[in-house]
Amino acid sequence: MSGAANDVYLVGGSRTSFGRFEGDDQDLAEQAVRGALGDCGLAWGDVEFAAGGTNGETKPDNLVSRMGLTGIPFVTVKNGCATGAVALGTARNGLIAEQREIACVVGYDNHARGAFSASPARYGIGAWYGATGMMVTTSYFALKIQRYLHEHDIDPRTLGYVSAKAFDYAASHPLAWRRTPVTIDEALDSDMVNDPLTRLMFCSPDAGGVALILARGPRAFDLCDKPIRLAAVELRGRRPGSFEVFSPWLSPGVRTSPSVDAAAAAFHAAGVRPQDVQVAQVQDTESGAEIIHLAETGLCLAGEQAAGYLDGDYRVDGRIPVNTDGGCIANGEPVGASGLRQVHEVMTQLQGRALGQQVPGDPSIGFTHVYGAPGISACTVLVAEGA
């Protein structure tokens, strides 16, 4: 099997350990890029196009001062939680539009301890909103899942199942951050942050870097035993009716979601159905987000989640293993790296070389989903061919 000229493949990848990091942000990026190049036997001089992103203050395109001044175009992306996926899509498009062969994608961040604090002015909201304690991301997630559990009659204990699953996956993943197993009851009984969400249901901002190497056309098969085709990358923004962070008001009536739109577009572009997916990553900023996003992406029906967790559907040997590296809950969320961590995990699962628990049965179709402020989502479909 050799790739069609405008098919783009993942041929190499690397991630750092996630967690606390004492050092320069770009140490993480450099470590990831060198690891990804080594993974497919390439050198920086082989890279013809690069895209990278961080939510921090460093300039991703300045990585060339460490890697080598080869004169290639390096596009910088800053799209919040969708940064990694947007960088990935940019690199894919760059390879196709400019008929180049090799691209490097990198995402990294090194966040300070504790929840993000946000400025109302950056979101176009008056100072009163922050001063009265409403500019709080944890309360947004809580308000959203509280309503969702009510509308779909889902047992709140399901939130504990999500955390227990995440920490179980992470316990056997050498590069995950929080690797101590947690029981369902421990998750439910931990310190309440925002009803119904407890401390062990939230991810935390932390540090990490991920890089991927893309190759276009037949070249991919020279570089990698099992290239993974990037069958779709789709980014969508919010439409009327979506329920987003930092919203002093919502419209009544039909709820929409950029996740629904991005997932549908990705499945359409790839010619794949949600029920074909054999390993997936969905944005799990907290346990409730995973529950919501499983349905919004089409991986299950709304209201079905409680039974799904009870039945082990999302475990490694279940119907559709989800967030098999522990997701954001156990890896934390270095914003620039997080979306690429998802793609790296699904890529290695499809190649049969997962760092943690390997999905059995040679899965060949994978899916990733990110979601974030101010109402954006990006999804990818990854396909292993010629198995």
Binding residues (CB under 8 A) for another protein: these are 114-115, 117, 119-120, 126-128, 130-136, 139, 142-144, 146-147, 150, 191-197, 240, 247-252
CB 349 within 8 A of CB 339: no
Tokens of 225: 């035993």
The amino acid occupying position 312 is G
Report the residue number, 125 or 171, with the smaller CB distance to another protein.
125
Rg (CA), the chain: 20
CB 346 within 8 A of CB 366: yes
Report the residue number, 31 or 285, with the smaller CB distance to another protein.
285
Please, what is the minimum distance in Å from the beta carbon of residue 335 to another protein?
17
Please, what is the minimum distance in Å from the beta carbon of residue 152 to another protein?
12
Report the residue number, 122 or 353, with the smaller CB distance to another protein.
122
Report the residue number, 192 or 387, with the smaller CB distance to another protein.
192
Report the residue number, 126 or 181, with the smaller CB distance to another protein.
126
Please, what is the minimum distance in Å from the beta carbon of residue 246 to another protein?
9
The amino acid occupying position 371 is Y
Please, what is the minimum distance in Å from the beta carbon of residue 274 to another protein?
27
Please, what is the minimum distance in Å from the beta carbon of residue 127 to another protein?
7
Instruction: Label the pairing between strands 8-15 and 228-237.
Output: antiparallel
Report the residue number, 19 or 374, with the smaller CB distance to another protein.
374
Please, what is the minimum distance in Å from the beta carbon of residue 241 to another protein?
9
Tokens of 224: 């990698």
Cα 148 to Cα 6, 13, 290, 300: the distances in Å are 41, 36, 12, 15
> For residue 66, how many other CB atoms are within 10 A of its CB?
14
Distance CA 174, CA 74 (A): 31
Helix or strand holding residue 109 (H, E): strand 102-110
